[in-house]
Structure 1
């Protein structure tokens, strides 16, 4: 006798998100389907549609949580009690630390491109970038140009992109992270 499949009412969004996240980090966006998620959960794909209207919405829920986590790091740093230069340094370290400790999530946030999800994921990325830009502007001792902020973001993104898959986590790149963060602080001050 096979186990009973959960109905749409027993299936929770958290259960779906957990399995979907696993599949999105193991495969490309296009290789994941509502049916493959349902199969792993042992339910019908219709049960998943009860909670999410489509795969793009499900993906957005997953990356939205990561952007919230990254934005919290920025808020906590900006609202800290350290001096401005230390806060600026901590923003840079926090960004790189997040990216290196959450490599698969970082890839989903900033590197997955697909017509089906670009609108939603780009919206979350843009809001997070705005938070980043506002954080830098609030911490800078002089007015930063838009190009300065963009260059710093690209430098941080490039750092994380370069080290992802070469290091297991932040600890393995700690020294390089510190050197890069100090370099960026020096460039802005």
Structure 2
């Protein structure tokens, strides 16, 4: 028995990830099933297992894209012209903007805990933090410790989590976000 395929198309990882991304944004991790994704793609759920070992590996593929997007935003911010203090503020604002403009994604990346995906998500979050630290460290005083940068990251994370689902987006809190970024910048300069 061959898997059903979308008319005129070969089933690809990208097609599966696109549908899964929509499902994960609309429902919780537990509510999403491989069968529902397969139904939306008009294929057998076995065809999805050809590309992904299980729902956790599919979820991780989706979340990896979110981390890649955040990493790109931080890298682009770092490339901007400006003094170190200005760049630090922009990096801090970039993280807060991403978190509050992509609230569901941010929750999946940094907040959600689920036995099936914890190890994968923690690994990706650690890599993202490392990239954040690599961006921030050269802009700080020479004696700064990585633990100080981690504390800044956690302060930014706390700000985002505090405003998740209480603010529609970053624009609603941008003034206090800027004040928060300035405060954190002073703490590490």
Q: Same fold (TM over 0.5)?
A: yes
**Structure 1 residue aligned with 2:5:** 6
- Kept in 2: contact 1:78–1:139 (CA 8 A): no
Partner residue, 1:177: 177
Instruction: State the shift of 1:17 in Å.
Output: 1.2
Q: Point out the more displaced range, 26-35 or 66-75.
A: 26-35
CA distance in 1, matches of 2:18, 2:112: 19
**In 2, Cα distance between equivalents of 1:112 and 1:55:** 15
C-alpha distance after superposition, 1:53-83 (max 9, x if no partner): 2111111111111111111122122222211
Q: Under a length normalisation based on structure 2, what TM-score does the superposition of the two structures give?
A: 0.91
1:64 aligns with 2:64: yes
Partner of 1:101: 101
Deviation at 1:188, TM superposition (A): 1.3
Query: Who is 1:122 aligned against?
Result: 122
What is the match of residue 147 of structure 2?
Answer: 147
Residues in 1 aligned to 2:27 and 2:71: alpha-carbon distance in whole angstroms: 26
The whole-number CA distance in structure 1 between the counterparts of 2:117 and 2:157 is 20
Residues in 1 aligned to 2:173 and 2:5: alpha-carbon distance in whole angstroms: 44
Q: Residue 15 of structure 1: CA displacement?
A: 2.1
Alignment of 1:37-56 (within 5 A): 37-56=37-56
Paired residue for 1:87? 87
Q: 2:81 is paired with a residue of what secondary structure?
A: coil
Asked if structure 1 preserves the Cα contact closer than 8 Å seen for 2:74 and 2:91, the reply is yes
Looking at structure 1, the residues matched to 28 and 65 of structure 2 have their Cα atoms a distance apart, in angstroms, of 19
**Matched ranges for 1:70-81 at <5 A:** 70-81=70-81
RMSD: 1.7
CA distance in 2, matches of 1:106, 1:143: 31
Partners of 1:131 and 1:36 in 2: CA distance = 35
Distance 2:99 2:164 in 1: 8
Q: Give ranges in structure 1 of 5+ residues lacking alignment.
A: none
Question: Matched residues in 2 for 1:116 and 1:164: separation?
Answer: 24
Structure 2 runs not aligned, ≥5 long: none
2:6–2:42: 8 Å Cα contact kept in structure 1?
Answer: no
TM normalised by structure 1 equals 0.91
Q: Secondary structure at the match of 1:158?
A: helix
- Cα distance in 1, alignment partners of residues 16 and 67 from structure 2: 19
Q: Displacement of 1:41 after TM fit?
A: 2.3
